[in-house]
Amino acid sequence: MKKKPATGIARREKLILTRLAQTLQVGVTMLLETLMDEKIKLVLKCKTIAIVGLSRDPSKDSYKVAEYLKKNGYRIIPVNPFAGEILGEKCFKSLLEAPEEVQKTIEVVDIFRPSEEVHPIVEQAVRLKQKHGNPLFIWMQLGIVNTQAAELAEKNGLTVIMDRCMMIEHKRLTRMQRS
């Protein structure tokens, strides 16, 4: 005769294991968010940001973010092949077409281009990194994800943040520091 398992105990053990797994999942998620916040804080300490795909149109997100960053003490370097000047700053057709003295100062490349257009931009950033030691970071704005470009950047010593808005993160972390 086979023994039947004590269903009450088995059910209780399963419940305990389920709760433990949920707790661990929450803990891991919190740890990952904390690590991401630390990475973002490092980016936000940088003061010179090349904004690739910066629009002349004040209603566009890229313009609003650039304007916010500039008002908050960041130096912006607009990269747009169709503009001469944006927000009072000289515009460059690409990262590589900026003068060398400007290239050397770029710490962050903030990308406002569709995901499929990111790879060539990262390739340019990698060339600058190899030549000048900068930039240090690639930031792909909210909705922009390109894992191949991110892998290329990281393989070449650049730290990558994808699918986040620099303005939103700056506001959020600044608010957190005040509280």
pLDDT in tens, 13-22: 777 777 766 7
Indicate if 20 and 85 belong to the same structural domain. Answer: no
Strand partners, 139: 110, 161
Q: Evaluate whether residue 102 is within a structural domain.
A: yes
Cβ atoms of 47 and 137 closer than 8 Å:
no
More confident position, 13 or 100: 100
Strand partners, 78: 51
- Compute CA distances 51 → 46, 106, 169, 176, whole Å: 13, 10, 16, 25
Q: Evaluate whether residue 69 is within a structural domain.
A: yes
For residue 53, is it left (φ>0), alpha (ψ between -120 and 50) or beta? left
- Our CA angle for 43, 152, 80, nearest 5°, is 65
Q: Evaluate whether residue 155 is within a structural domain.
A: yes
For 106, the domain range is: 46-178
Cα separation, 137 vs 158, whole angstroms: 5
Q: Evaluate whether residue 39 is within a structural domain.
A: no
Indicate if 100 and 17 belong to the same structural domain. Answer: no
Cβ atoms of 83 and 91 closer than 8 Å:
yes
Q: Which of 70, 69, 81 is nearest to 120 (CA)?
A: 81
Count CB atoms within 10 A of the CB of residue 114.
11
Per-residue pLDDT band at 10 (split at 50, 70, 90): confident
Indicate if 28 and 50 belong to the same structural domain. Answer: no
Strand 89-90 with 159-161, pairing? unpaired
Cβ atoms of 122 and 96 closer than 8 Å:
no
Indicate if 18 and 86 belong to the same structural domain. Answer: no
pTM score, whole prediction: 0.82
Indicate if 117 and 171 belong to the same structural domain. Answer: yes
Indicate if 12 and 89 belong to the same structural domain. Answer: no
Quote the number of domains for the chain.
2
**Residue range 138-179, pLDDT digits in tens:** 999 999 999 999 999 999 999 999 999 999 999 998 877 666
Indicate if 103 and 160 belong to the same structural domain. Answer: yes
Indicate if 15 and 93 belong to the same structural domain. Answer: no
